[in-house]
Each structure stands twice: as C-alpha cells, then as structure tokens.
Amino acid sequence: MSRRAPRLIHLEFDWDDTAEIPAATERILVDADQALQAYWDQWHKQPIEQYVACDFRDVWRAMSQLTESKLARGNTFCEWGCGFGIVTGLASQLGWEAVGIEAEAFLVEQAKRFLQRNQLAGEVLHGNFLPPGSERLARSQSDHASLFHQVENAYEKHDLQLDDYALIFAYPWPGEHHFLQEVFRCYGGEDSLMLMFLGPYEIELFRKVV
C-alpha cells in the first residue's frame, strides 16, 4: 500500500490585530524601526533590491497568539529570509528556539547586531533557505526571487534538517507564495506549521499533514 502524498491544510487563524504589545516588546520594535530607517536613509550605499520589511507588530501579534494556542508540535522556529533578524528575534523573545536564514551577508551582520543589541537569543545563519533540490518545484523560475541566491545552502553548511522545525515563517516575494508553500509541503516536517505574511492584515497559517 503506497503512502499518501503530504498536503497542506489552511488553518483558521483569527489573530487579534488590535492586541496590545508589551512595553518590553515595543522597545525592541522601536529599535527595529530605527535600524530600518537608518538603512533606508543610506540605501544607496548598500542597495538590496529584494529586501522588503513586513509589518513586525502584526507578525508579533500573530506569533504571540500562535504561541499561546499550543498548535505547534514543538518550539523550534526557522525564518526563511530573515533580513534584519527582527522576526527571528521576536520569536526568540516569545520562547521559540529561533533560527533565521539569510542569503545577503550584509543583512546577516545587521541581524546579528540587532539580536545582540536587544539581548535576544535567536541565531542567524548565512545561506540559502531553500532545501537542496527544491528548485524543481518552481513552475516559472523567472518569477521567484528566492531562486537567485548564489550562496551555499544553509542546511548543508550548518548540518540542519528543515523537517526538524515545528514552525516556519516566510514573507514571500510577490508571486512566489505558492512556490514556498510547495517547498514546505515537500520538505517540511510532518505536522509542522508555516506562518506566512502576505501583506497588511493578511497572515495565513498552514499545517503539513501526511
């Protein structure tokens, strides 16, 4: 008897977009705002075309509610394309064993400084967040910015397995959210979750089932 192919279930997840943010978390977010503004003010010195920031306060609200819900099978967290490490740091503050993967060396350094400055325990790794071989899942490669990171694969480089993580967070480039969902479906761990920021007030949650 053949095993059924894994699939993704879209979970109903009505997070509260008006939830109050604790003062300690808000201080971290203010520091993040300042770090990003400093970068945008000097963008011409270190232009990164693919970097776009999500709404970190809404992501914290969603992650806080998800943490309290106990929906995850564990507390391991991985952020795909962590940028300045802000979501990775927020996950760490919420009690997750958090890792962020980033292809841009400049952003890796900025993320490490952000975590250290705010005394957050998350870890940031330099490399490609796509598992080896997952490129084959792309239907139209020209549409997927994540396929063009010419850096060593993070999982091979750091001896990691994607299916070890209970929660994956991603903010996909426009047009590639289906691709990243398919990567998660094929390579994520059984019963693991994917939290995906898709735009203002639009955060979706998926579970992989076999």
Does position 142 have pLDDT exceeding 60, yes or no?
no
Does position 38 have pLDDT exceeding 70, yes or no?
yes
Band of residue 52 on the pLDDT scale cut at 50, 70, 90:
confident
Q: Which CATH architecture has domain 21-39+50-131+149-209?
A: 3-Layer(aba) Sandwich (3.40)
**pLDDT for the residue numbered 135:** 86
Q: How far is CA 20 from the centre of its chain?
A: 22
Averaged pLDDT, 28-39? 96
Averaged pLDDT, 124-133? 94
Residues 6+ apart with CB under 8 A from 127: 101, 102, 103, 151, 152, 153, 154, 155, 157, 158
User: For the whole model, what pTM was predicted?
Assistant: 0.93
Does position 47 have pLDDT exceeding 60, yes or no?
yes
